Amino acid sequence: MGNRSEAISIYLTQSSNTACTYGIYGKDAIMPSKLIDGYQFFFYSNERNEPPHMHVRKGGNETKIWLGTLGFAYNHGFGEHELTRIRRMTRRHLDELFDLWDGHFAG
């Protein structure tokens, strides 16, 4: 399988604009993620005790958006126009993102 620090991604679903990956990063940190219009939406397995949210990464920039309020917890590098776009994408894919979160933490 190679070095455990390398990412292993299994594509669960894929369409022209979105892809859902399930990556294994490092020793035991699983990072479910979904690619939407070039933005990587993801969360870490150790974030079970936080409200549902997604980290969003693109081009070295990253933000964290709460799924319940669509508010941002932090932003590193995205401009206001991109944050507006991220909020719209999150709203448009909200059910899928909640399903990813709930499916991962179920049980």
3-state helix, strand, coil in the chain (%, to 5): 25, 40, 35
pTM listed for this prediction: 0.76
- pLDDT-derived band at 106 (thresholds 50, 70, 90) equals confident
pLDDT band at 3 (very low <50, low <70, confident <90, very high): very low
User: For residue 52, how many other CB atoms are within 10 A of its CB?
Assistant: 16
d(CA 21, CA 11) in angstroms, rounded, equals: 5
Q: In the prediction, which pLDDT does 29 show? A: 59
Q: Which residue reads 């920039």 in tokens?
A: 61
